[in-house]
Chains A and B, each alone.
Chain A
Amino acid sequence: GENVEQHPSTLSVQEGDSAVIKCTYSDSASNYFPWYKQELGKGPQLIIDIRSNVGEKKDQRIAVTLNKTAKHFSLHITETQPEDSAVYFCAASMDGTDKLIFGTGTRLQVFP
């Protein structure tokens, strides 16, 4: 079955710097890759997703890139702000299946 690895487990950056979180997946049939943000005391919330027919997707300060050949995808946050501090989860799935497989999470801390 699908396995998703996520790195790093913790990431500390200065406000205004960029942050990058990387994930690799094992099943080449996976075609849907969402990213979830979990703020303290809350459930995860989708922030951006990408499908395998697209190499990059951007939404204001966040972007996701996908390399199907290498089977990895990354979350990029530019101009980080303290409110970006949270745990981020990547995940992988495919059309027609009943599961979303999550990575182990990255705790991002943005220092003012």
Chain B
Amino acid sequence: EAQVTQNPRYLITVTGKKLTVTCSQNMNHEYMSWYRQDPGLGLRQIYYSMNVEVTDKGDVPEGYKVSRKEKRNFPLILESPSPNQTSLYFCASSFAAGAYEQYFGPGTRLTVT
């Protein structure tokens, strides 16, 4: 089954404790992206990757890191989480950037206290 998986689905952590949210896709997609969803703000892009070893900032990259060492995986790293990073996070992948369908993972709800 074609899918995007994320782990964990729920995470409660404390300020400053480094965490990683994993994302994996099995569709051999070139493009992967991370979004955060906040009430009233819709989906805002954090980082994206056009291909292996190619990553770039989205609209809200501050406080986040990503890596793309393999085509299927695109982890999101919060080196020192803060309460304003409490949000619902989605990973997505697509055949290519721009005008193609994006396939979303199920989401990771992060709470930073």
Cβ of A24 to closest chain B Cβ, rounded Å: 14
- B19 at the binding interface (Cβ < 8 Å): no
Chain B residues bordering chain A, tally (CB within 8 A): 24
Counted as pairs of residues, one from A and one from B, with CB atoms less than 8 Å apart, the total is 62
A5 to B40 alpha-carbon distance, docked (Å): 11
Instruction: Name the A residues within 8 Å of B50 (CB-CB).
Output: 98
A31–B45 CB distance below 8 A:
no
Main secondary structure of the interface of A (DSSP, over half): loop
Cβ of B27 to closest chain A Cβ, rounded Å: 14
A32 to B35 alpha-carbon distance, docked (Å): 19
Chain A residues bordering chain B, tally (CB within 8 A): 27
Cβ of A94 to closest chain B Cβ, rounded Å: 6
Top-9 shortest CB links A-B: A43-B104, A32-B99, A98-B97, A104-B42, A102-B43, A46-B101, A97-B98, A102-B42, A93-B98
